[in-house]
Amino acid sequence: MKLSNSYIGLPEDFYQVINPLPVKSPKLIAFNEDLAKDLGLTMDPDEALKYFSDKLKHVSKIPYSRFLYEDGGGDFNLAADGMIRDEIKFGKFIKRLRSIFMEILSKPLFIQMCLKYPEFTNDPQFKSQVALRFNEENVFSELKDMELMEKRLDFIGTMRDSLMTTNQETMEEEYYFDQEYLVKKYLKLSDDEIRANEAFKSKLAKKSAEEPEAEDPFAM
């Protein structure tokens, strides 16, 4: 049986995709048997309900694992190694929607501000700051980044410890690779992140230096 929805082929201004709400025990309220015969549908009401439900889930682009089923619920795993392809695709789909909404909402605001304050028109810093910050609902990408960072740290530690060299002057063993070089190359930290880390380290060192030394109660 081949069914098509002609509205999906129209521009997005002519229709609106509504995400289906998962229910635990769906039931068919009404079924037009006469119309089903005219369309050549031979499936029983339960099969028809499942067919249209699956079609609706597919159009919504929400991963199937998020819907509740009769067996007690969807398969929702927060571990990054358990990410399924549907979750990755869904995350990219959400990012595309956010970029569209970003343009729709921020551009009129930028134009309005430029009309009211003409000096902002050619200000690149102001233009870059007019944006939206979305709350993250999908934690899969964050978990994946954390897992990649953990693997990079393990790789840096293994690479630094596995190769030693001998200093010809002191005849002492020392690491061949410089730790700062490995961090910058393989941890993929930006220059701003490196400077922020150095600033925190300097702040902590300054705070430690300003704190008075604890007196030894056993000192004579």
Structure tokens at 119: 């000096």
Confidence of residue 23 (pLDDT cuts 50, 70, 90): low
- Rounded CA gap, 127 and 124, in Å? 5
Average pLDDT rounded to a whole number, residues 56-75: 65
Helix 85-116 vs helix 140-162: crossing angle, to nearest 10: 110
Cα dihedral sign, 45-50-53-59:
negative
pLDDT digits (tens, 9 = 90+) for 130-150: 888 887 665 666 777 788 888
Check residue 219 and give its pLDDT: 58
Confidence of residue 12 (pLDDT cuts 50, 70, 90): low
